[in-house]
Amino acid sequence: GAVVSQHPSWVICKSGTSVKIECRSLDFQATTMFWYRQFPKQSLMLMATSNEGSKATYEQGVEKDKFLINHASLTLSTLTVTSAHPEDSSFYICSARESRGQPQHFGDGTRLSIL
C-alpha cells in the first residue's frame, strides 16, 4: 500500500520551456502533497505544500510564479516549472500523506535537465 506515482521520471528540454510534473497517490487519498527539490549529494529541500482544493503554501525563497502547483483532487498534484532555465535543473520529488500525523510517501522523482 501507500504508492505514489510521479511522472515523468526524466525530462530534457530547452531553456524557456514550461514543464509539468504529475504526482499521484495510487491507493490512498492524499489530503496533502509536498514538493521537494534535491541537488546531488544534498538533502531534500521543501519547496511547497499543497492541500487539496486550496492554494499551495510556498517555502521562503521559492517563487510562486515560477513553480505553479495545483492540487485539484485527492489523488493528483501537479508542479509546473514555468519558463525553465538551466539553473532550474534538479531532481524534483513529491510526497503525499493521507492525513496529518500519517507518514509521507515519496514518488520516484523527476530529473529535470534544462539545456
Partner 1 sequence: GENVEQHPSTLSVQEGDSAVIKCTYSDSASNYFPWYKQELGKRPQLIIDIRSNVGEKKDQRIAVTLNKTAKHFSLHITETQPEDSAVYFCAAPRLYNQGGKLIFGQGTELSVKP
Residues that bind partner 1 (CB under 8 A): 4, 32, 34, 41-44, 46, 49, 51, 57, 93, 100-101, 103-109, 111
Q: Which is nearer to partner 1, 55 or 85 (CB)?
A: 55
CB of 26 to partner 1, least distance (A): 14
Distance between CA atoms of residues 60 and 80, nearest Å: 18
Q: Which is nearer to partner 1, 79 or 107 (CB)?
A: 107
Task: Kindly state the cell numbers that stand for 105.
Answer: 510517501
CB of 103 to partner 1, least distance (A): 5
